[in-house]
Amino acid sequence: MSPVLITFYFLAAFTLATAFLTIYSKNPIHSAIYLVLCMVSIMGHYLLLNAQFVAIVQLIVYAGAIMVLMLFTIMLMNLNKEDEVHKPRITRLGAIVVFILMSMVLITIFINSKTIMGEYDSTGEDFQSIKVLGKVLLNEYMVPFEFASILLLVAMIGTVLLTKKEKDQK
Amino acid sequence: MIENILNIIGIENYIFLTVLLFCIGVFGVLYRRNAIIVFMSIEIMLNAVNLLFVAFSTYHQDAEGQVFVFFSMAVAAAEVAVGLAILVSVFRNLGSIDIDNLKNLKG
Amino acid sequence: MDVTTLLILLLIGAVATLVSGDKLASKVALLFSLVAFGLSINLLLQFNQGTDIGFVSNWIANPKVALALKADGLSMAMVLLTTALTPLIILSSFGNSFNNSKNFYALVLFMAFAMVGTFLAADGLLYYIFWELALIPIYFIALIWGNGDVEERKKAVVKFFIYTLAGSLFMLVGFAYLYSKAGSFLLEDLYKLELSNQEQFWIFFAFFLAYAIKIPIIPFHTWQAKVYQKAPTVGTMLLSGIMLKMGLYSVIRWQLPIAPDAAKEYMPILIGLSIAGVIYGSIVALRQKDLKKLLAYSSLAHVGLIAAGCYTLTADGLNGAVYQMIAHGFVIVGLFFAAEVIFRRFETRKIDELGGIRSQASGFTSMFMILVLASVALPGTYNFVGEFTVLYSLSQVNIWFAVIGGTTIILGAYYMLKMFQNVMLGETNTKVFKDVNVSEAIVFVVIIGFLLFFGLYPKPINDLVNPAIKEILAVINR
Amino acid sequence: MDTNLALLLLLSPFVGFLFNIFFGKKVSKGISGAIGTLTVVVSFLLSICFFAQLNQNGKPFEISLFDWIQVSNFKLDFGILLDQLSLLWLLFVTGIGSLIHLYSISYMHDDENMHKFFAYLNLFVFFMITLVVGNNLLVMFIGWEGVGLCSYLLIGFWYKNQPYNDAAKKAFIMNRIGDLGFLIGMFIIAALFSTLNYAEIKSAVASGDANSALLGLAALCLFIGACGKSAQLPLYTWLPDAMAGPTPVSALIHAATMVTAGIFMVTRMNFLFDLTPDVQNIIAIVGAITALVAASIGLLQNDIKKVLAYSTVSQLGLMFLALGLGAYTVAVFHVITHAFFKACLFLGSGSVIHGLHGEQDMRKMGGLRKAMPITFWTMMISTLAIAGIFPFAGFWSKDEILMVAFGHNKALWIVASIASIMTAFYMFRLMYLTFFREFRGTEEQKHHLHESPKLITIPLVILAVLAVIGGAINLPGSMWLNHFLEPVLVAKHEAHHLGTQEFILMGIALVGAIIGIVWANAKYIKQGFVPKEDAEIVGFSKTIYNKYYVDEFYTFLIVKPLNGLSNFFRTTLEPALGKVVYGFGTVANGIGSQGKKLQNGNIGLYLFVFVIGICAIITYLFIAQ
């Protein structure tokens, strides 16, 4: 057992546990906090894979921006009480069945398809430094990149419009 | 020459991890009534996919997978922003964000 | 000159009627229908000289659809029936006034256009388009200008529309399948198809549904009586006089030659069903209280006999069916017109409330009587020629079919005479009944003249129809 | 030339019909009647011409006018055939027709629709001529249905009276039942021989290779047609009801001419019936039973015209008996003599009714002998003729029927003899009740009693004379009719020699008739018996008086179930069928409204279903792999 592997297992267990707790916690605030932890652990995976840029972005966007937004919303709505009514039992049972079924199915699929995986190769090139990524992003993916910015702009305008109080509403 | 880290961990471990993470997300969507938690479940699913992208990017030694993760994060950010805005206005109108109480999506 | 001129004329007539304004509309429509009749007579003369008056031209490349209009004796007979009845029907409506009469008469002419198209089309898809096109005007005519309670009328008319449309869809599916086999919708290509028994079965019954509803054969007749009752008399005449014949014509032209083996295999069932319609229609007609409904059921009985003739697959059966179609077309228009004449004066169609008209209007009584007698196929009227030929063909298939089908002459006499007695005879009615005026008399006299003339001298129609039927029979027995 | 004359013979009454229907109202009643009569007289004269011609050269006259119906295996033209049989019929149809037209001028003079009456009568004569002169069965069928139509029109002539219209309708429909048989018979013959022309059928039958079972069926079907038209069991009930029509109509159509069409047809097709002995037996039995049943009903009827109607049915039964025994000439002979005396009787009863202003009940008559001597004497002669008293016409013809019956089957002979005795009884009952003893009507009627005008009595006298001498055409010994008709009939006639047996039979028949007369005399003259009121009739006589309840039986067995079925169809089955069709709509509607519930706008549910759906798809793909 190499330290890397141990790290991976630890991180994986942490990720799954926090993800599960996110869903299972009754208090939305707790959920949000578990989700932050989940995001951070995923960042850990990225670092393990040496994807520094994505890891940083993950931290900033998810753990930072998005989660703050969520927390704000939760608090705005004053949802920190544990007053959520459960879904009907049959639905919950269905959810669990689906969960188990899906996991089994997907895992079986990937186990079955393992044979066509080749050897892990290493080109030796530095393919995931910020420098390389930036070149790819701003050369080949220039147009989608710009579209992404437009998308974000539109999302911002939309959000503002949606949340604005309509004056002439009775 | 840097050794490929997947030689140590193995891509299948990542696959199992992401599958489980994704299924937890699905479970959350089905299980909860609180719209924000459902939202979070969706984020978990997105993250599971992102993680798989990055893992395969490493597997193929190719940066494009990470570029895609970048885009998906941008979309996720936009989605969260708009979605939460909608939730806020829903809450303002109905006083609740329980998805089972949202019954007006019909003509 | 070919048959397209006739179609174009009718279409122009419809448009001209639409723009002529409400006051002139009926006259313009009458004029155009008369010109169309003259034109079709002219076409008939050309046809008899051996000129080819058909028309073929490409239309849609993919799927391959052609504007193919073919005129043989059968088509010409049906076209003449349509163009001869249309002016009569328009003339018969002169005693009524309609709101928006320009729309009304334009729809009548448009319907004539569609029906003529149906009788001429020699391309499956074109035929289907005309077939469905004919449904649209009658829908509006019955819905907008009909009588009785609006809600009930709407219910009946919408039922009729959806019912016939649904039946026709099966025919469309049948055509689509035939296209996939033949690569063309052309009639002659479809005639050449060699279909397996299984295929023939499905094609036959897809077509059968469409036609059985239109004709109608029991138990697909439920739309009929209500619609006849609710539609304005012009609409009823168009429906019963011509539109029913579209179904019967199509049986001869499309259904039998394309799937002859299926027709042969199921012949007893088909004839049995048709004859059951004869008996059923007659028995139901016995106790009807509404004049138009009674006539509707009598029509059901008569078309049942015609359909039985078609399904015998003998030359006599098919010929007789065509004769009977023509005869029934005229007589039923006349009878419905008689009902309308009574309604104009007494404002009722309830048989109980009528009676005692004979002493007030002897001219009308005589004409009505002759129509009633023609309807029960008294020898000397054209109906007898048709009924005799059809019953003879049935007797050749199985004598019992003829015996059971022949009860129509007993039951028919029973319900028609009973109706006549209750409507026309008895103590003089307290209400005043004015005898028929000129335009009404013309309609009656033309119809009666036609029926009596051809009843004694049917040869011209025989000579027109027989060769065409012979050709079709050759295809059926290929 | 002959063609034109033949056409004139056929169309002359039709011209009269057209004139009367279109212009009859504008001209005076006299002219209308005169034209109606004249056109028939023209036909009569032409018939005589053709008859004379035929007597000279013995060749039948046949022409084809134009093509008519054409079916796959044969073609029919509208042809005229004037041979011995058709000319014989033409003579008495147009002859008696002329007399009755003449009679009607006076009889119908008070009716406002007299021109219509003449129009219909002319139309009837036209159709009757068509029936007789056609050279194939289908032309006969035109006339056959045509006379049925005229019968309908004339029975319902007083159309304001709905029971009369019912009687007319009944006659038409009963006839149509027979017509269907006729039609089917024609179909079988056409299928067998590919023709309907008499001559061609005859030669085809003679070749003898036809399927005898089918031939029998054809003959039976034709006989059913004859039953309808000639009022035989079980289709006879329309004829007594048909007395609703004006009396000249009863005389012309329902006694002398139309009802004999069935006999004409069977005689025409004699070559066919000769080959089917089973059917002949049926005909004979039906005829005998009809004769007996109708005669027994006639015993107790009180309506003067009803008695005559049942008498007609009974006499027609005797004629069919003769036909069934293959004695066609004898039947034809009786048709002719019967036409004379029955027409005379009807016209005489019409004269009586005329004199009493419409009274038809014999219980309210009596003692008319003095007031109406001509009517009385002519009717008396005819009554003697129908009763079969020597030497009146009826004696000879009826006697021959009885003789033929005796020769074939003693049982039939006994039945026919009983019917004859009954005939003598009820006819004299009629005479006694009507003309003898004192008048039983109202004082006012008594005051107005008078003999009918000349136009009524002249036809009566002529017919009475014919009823006396009519038997001369076929006296035993001369047998003129037999020889005359020989070319038409398949010659297999056994000649009667007048032996001892024949004379004994004649004697028995005569004695039988006299017994009937004496019986009637004893009951109605000596005892002065007057039939009871309707309500007082009890027991078996009530059954007879009510005509064995046959009408009620038919109503119960056919009309009621038919109407019930119609009601059931109309009120139950039709809506049910409609509901089945609506059912498709209802099902679609139901699916829609269930689906609508699914589409309830609940986002939570949508989300749930959506995710489950995706999972299901993935799982399915996995399993399907």
Q: Which residues of chain A does D611 touch, with a Cβ-Cβ cutoff of 8 Å?
A: 98
* D63 beta partners: D80
Sign of CA dihedral C21, C23, C28, C29: positive
- What are the 10-residue block averages of pLDDT along chain D, 625 residues in total? 81 88 82 86 88 82 82 82 85 88 84 85 90 88 89 86 86 89 89 84 78 84 88 84 84 83 88 85 89 85 85 88 85 87 87 80 78 84 84 81 82 86 85 79 75 82 84 74 76 59 80 83 77 70 74 81 84 83 86 81 82 87 81
Of C287, C359, C410, the CB nearest to D180: C410
Taking the Cβ of residue B26 and every Cβ of chain D, the question of whether any pair is shorter than 8 Å is answered with: yes
> What residue segments make up the domains of chain C, in order of their start?
266-478
- Chain centroid to CA C141: how far? 17
Taking the Cβ of residue D612 and every Cβ of chain A, the question of whether any pair is shorter than 8 Å is answered with: yes
Instruction: Report the 10 Å Cβ neighbour count for A92.
Output: 15
| DSSP structure class, residue C3 | T
| DSSP structure class, residue D489 | S
Q: Which residues of chain D does C327 touch, with a Cβ-Cβ cutoff of 8 Å?
A: none
The pLDDT value given to residue C39: 92
The pLDDT value given to residue A164: 80
Convert D364-400 to b/e letters by CB count within 10 Å (16 or more is b).
bbbbbbebbebbbbbbbbbbbbbbbbeebbbbbbbbb
Q: Is the pLDDT of residue C84 over 80?
A: yes
User: Which residues make Cβ contacts (< 8 Å) with residue A1, sequence separation at least 6?
Assistant: none
Distance (Å) from the C-alpha of residue B53 to the closest C-alpha of chain A? 10
Q: Do the beta carbons of residue D183 and residue D240 sit within 8 Å?
A: no
pLDDT tens, residue by residue, C403-452: 888 888 889 898 998 888 888 887 777 788 888 888 889 999 999 999 99
Q: What is the spatial distance between Cα D574 and Cα D586, in angstroms, rounded to a whole number? A: 18
Determine if the peptide bond prior to D391 is cis (ω within 30°).
yes
Q: What is the mean pLDDT of residues C255-280?
A: 89
Q: Is the pLDDT of residue C132 over 50?
A: yes
> Which tokens hold the place of B94?
């109905």
Asked if the Cβ–Cβ distance from D603 to B99 is below 8 Å, we say yes
| DSSP structure class, residue D254 | I
Asked if the Cβ–Cβ distance from D599 to B106 is below 8 Å, we say yes
- The confidence band for A119, taking pLDDT boundaries of 50, 70 and 90, is low
Q: What is the spatial distance between Cα D353 and Cα D107, in angstroms, rounded to a whole number? A: 10
Q: What is the mean pLDDT of residues A27-34?
A: 88
Instruction: Give me the phi and psi of A125, to 5 degrees please.
Output: -75, 155
The pLDDT value given to residue D1: 64
Q: Would strands D74-82 and C55-60 be described as parallel, antiparallel, or unpaired? A: unpaired
Q: What is the spatial distance between Cα D494 and Cα C204, in angstroms, rounded to a whole number? A: 63
Instruction: Give me the phi and psi of A27, to 5 degrees please.
Output: -85, 125
pLDDT tens, residue by residue, A68-93: 888 888 888 877 666 667 777 888 88
Instruction: Report the 10 Å Cβ neighbour count for D529.
Output: 14
Q: Is the pLDDT of residue A1 over 60?
A: yes
The pLDDT value given to residue A114: 62
Q: Do the beta carbons of residue A82 and residue B34 sit within 8 Å?
A: no
- In the three-class reduction of DSSP (H, G, I as helix; E, B as strand; rest coil), residue C60 is classed as strand
Q: Which domains does chain B have, with CATH numbers?
A: 6-99 (1.10.287.3510)
Q: Do the beta carbons of residue C249 and residue C74 sit within 8 Å?
A: yes
> What residue segments make up the domains of chain A, in order of their start?
1-81, 86-112, 129-165
From the list D462, D461, D459, the residue with the least C-alpha distance to D104 is: D459
Q: Do the beta carbons of residue D100 and residue D459 sit within 8 Å?
A: yes
Of D68, D159, D565, the CB nearest to C283: D565
> Which tokens hold the place of A136?
């790819």
Q: Is C236 exposed, middle or buried (0-12, 13-18, 19+ CB in 10 A)?
A: buried
Q: What is the spatial distance between Cα C258 and Cα C189, in angstroms, rounded to a whole number? A: 10
The pLDDT value given to residue B4: 66
The pLDDT value given to residue C11: 92
Taking the Cβ of residue B100 and every Cβ of chain D, the question of whether any pair is shorter than 8 Å is answered with: yes
Q: Which chains touch A (3 or more CB pairs under 8 A)?
A: B, D
The helix (run of H) or strand (run of E) holding residue D106 is helix D84-107
Taking the Cβ of residue D328 and every Cβ of chain C, the question of whether any pair is shorter than 8 Å is answered with: no
Q: Would strands C55-60 and C65-69 be described as parallel, antiparallel, or unpaired? A: antiparallel
- Chain centroid to CA D186: how far? 19
**D114, amino acid identity:** M
Instruction: Give me the phi and psi of D70, to 5 degrees please.
Output: -130, 125
Instruction: Give me the phi and psi of C264, to 5 degrees please.
Output: -70, -40
**D198, amino acid identity:** Y
| DSSP structure class, residue D134 | B
The helix (run of H) or strand (run of E) holding residue A29 is helix A28-48
The pLDDT value given to residue D511: 84
The CATH architecture that domain A1-81 belongs to is Up-down Bundle (1.20)
Termini Cα distance of chain D: 98
The pLDDT value given to residue D446: 74
**C34, amino acid identity:** L
From the list C235, C42, C19, the residue with the least C-alpha distance to C136 is: C235
Q: What is the spatial distance between Cα D475 and Cα D479, in angstroms, rounded to a whole number? A: 6
Contact present, A and D (at least 3 Cβ pairs less than 8 Å): yes
Q: Do the beta carbons of residue D129 and residue D43 sit within 8 Å?
A: yes
Among D596, D603, D605, pick the best mutation site for testing chain B contact (most B Cβ within 10 A): D603
Distance (Å) from the C-alpha of residue A106 to the closest C-alpha of chain D? 9
| Angle formed at CA D222 by CA D217 and CA D223, multiple of 5 degrees | 95
- The confidence band for C107, taking pLDDT boundaries of 50, 70 and 90, is very high
Sign of CA dihedral C291, C294, C299, C300: positive
Determine if the peptide bond prior to C63 is cis (ω within 30°).
yes
Q: Which chains touch C (3 or more CB pairs under 8 A)?
A: D
Q: What is the spatial distance between Cα D270 and Cα D326, in angstroms, rounded to a whole number? A: 8
Q: Do the beta carbons of residue D97 and residue D40 sit within 8 Å?
A: yes
The pLDDT value given to residue D515: 84
The pLDDT value given to residue D296: 86
- Number of residues assigned to chain C: 478
- The structure tokens 């709509």 sit at D585
The pLDDT value given to residue D342: 87
- The confidence band for A118, taking pLDDT boundaries of 50, 70 and 90, is low
The pLDDT value given to residue D567: 85
- In the three-class reduction of DSSP (H, G, I as helix; E, B as strand; rest coil), residue D68 is classed as strand
From the list C438, C426, C49, C476, the residue with the least C-alpha distance to C258 is: C476
C-facing residues of D in 549-588 (CB < 8 A) are: 562-563, 565-567, 569-570, 574, 577-578, 580-582, 585
> Which tokens hold the place of C338?
């008689």
Three-state DSSP string of A54-119: HHHHHHHHHHHHHHHHHHHHHHHHCCCCCCCCCCCHHHHHHHHHHHHHHHHHHHHHHHHHHHHCCC
Instruction: Report the 10 Å Cβ neighbour count for C439.
Output: 13
Q: What is the spatial distance between Cα D565 and Cα C414, in angstroms, rounded to a whole number? A: 15
Q: What is the spatial distance between Cα C294 and Cα C288, in angstroms, rounded to a whole number? A: 5
Asked if the Cβ–Cβ distance from D570 to C287 is below 8 Å, we say yes
Instruction: Give me the phi and psi of C458, to 5 degrees please.
Output: -80, 0
User: Which residues make Cβ contacts (< 8 Å) with residue C112, sequence separation at least 6?
Assistant: C10, C33, C36, C82, C83, C86, C242
The pLDDT value given to residue A105: 84
Q: Which residue of D has its CA nearest to C159?
A: D582
What is this model's ipTM? 0.75
The pLDDT value given to residue B47: 92
Percent of chain A clearing pLDDT 70 (strictly above): 86
> Which tokens hold the place of D282?
């049926």
Asked if the Cβ–Cβ distance from B38 to D603 is below 8 Å, we say no
Q: What is the spatial distance between Cα D240 and Cα D232, in angstroms, rounded to a whole number? A: 12
Among A122, A141, A143, A149, pick the best mutation site for testing chain B contact (most B Cβ within 10 A): A122
Q: Is the pLDDT of residue C265 over 70?
A: yes
* C56 beta partners: C68
From the list C320, C289, C294, C290, the residue with the least C-alpha distance to C307 is: C320
In DSSP notation, C334-360 reads: HHHHHHHHHHHHHS--BGGG----TTT
Q: What is the mean pLDDT of residues B63-72?
A: 88
